[in-house]
Structures are given as C-alpha cells and as structure tokens.
Amino acid sequence: MESYNTLVEAIAGLEKEGYNEEFNLKQNYIESSHGKFQILHHEFEIDKFFRFEGETDPSDESIVYAISSEKYNLKGVLVSAYGIYSDPLVDEMMKKFSFTK
C-alpha cells in the first residue's frame, strides 16, 4: 500500500487513481460535491485510508478516505478530522468508518 507524507500528497495521489469526487460527511450519509448524491452507508465502500497527525498541534489530526460507490459510479475522497474534533455520526456510519489496527 502506498504511503504519503502529507494530506495534500495523499489527495493528489488518489486523484491520479480516479478518486476525483469530493465527499462531505453528514450524520447518516456522505454527500457528493454540490449535493448531487446522498450516499447511504450500504451504498459505498472505503477502499483505503491514510491518517495524518499534526507534529506540533493535536488539532491538525486528519484522515483521508478513498471511497467508491458502484451504485452511483463514483470514486472520491473524504477528508475528516479525527479525535476530539471528529463529527457525530449515527451507528451505521460509525461502523463503516471504524477500523481495527
């Protein structure tokens, strides 16, 4: 699996792989840019993810997800804070975005 040093590098690398959509995380779905699609937890897959921790500021912690949806024929990225600044989600979305190490 590839690795990236920065969030910007990860997004650029994923765009080269066809992950061109920008998703926004909502409480019980992800939304495509411009709100065209609202994709429920069972309508997308998380293909890979990369974590980035701020070297000096804990609030700089973020994670980028590479997401695909066969139903909507979309591939894109979702960038989200994690830790104390993470977004509240419903149970189904929490399960989808939870990974064991």
pLDDT on residue 1: 65
Report residue 81 as tokens.
């804070």
Indicate the pTM of the whole model: 0.81
Tell me the CA distances in angstroms from 41 to 3, 8, 22, 54, 88, one per residue in order: 26, 26, 16, 29, 15
Residue 58: exposure state from Cβ atoms within 10 A (0-12, 13-18, ≥19): exposed
Q: Tokens in use for 57?
A: 């500021």
Q: What is the pLDDT of residues 44-93, one digit of tens each?
A: 999 999 988 876 565 668 889 999 999 999 999 999 876 545 566 656 77
Alpha carbon 37 to its chain centroid, in Å, reads: 15
What does the domain layout of the chain look like in residue ranges? 7-96
What pLDDT does 80 receive?
83
Residue position matching structure tokens 């792989």? 17
- Confidence tier at 101 by pLDDT (50, 70, 90): very low
Average model confidence (pLDDT) for the chain? 84
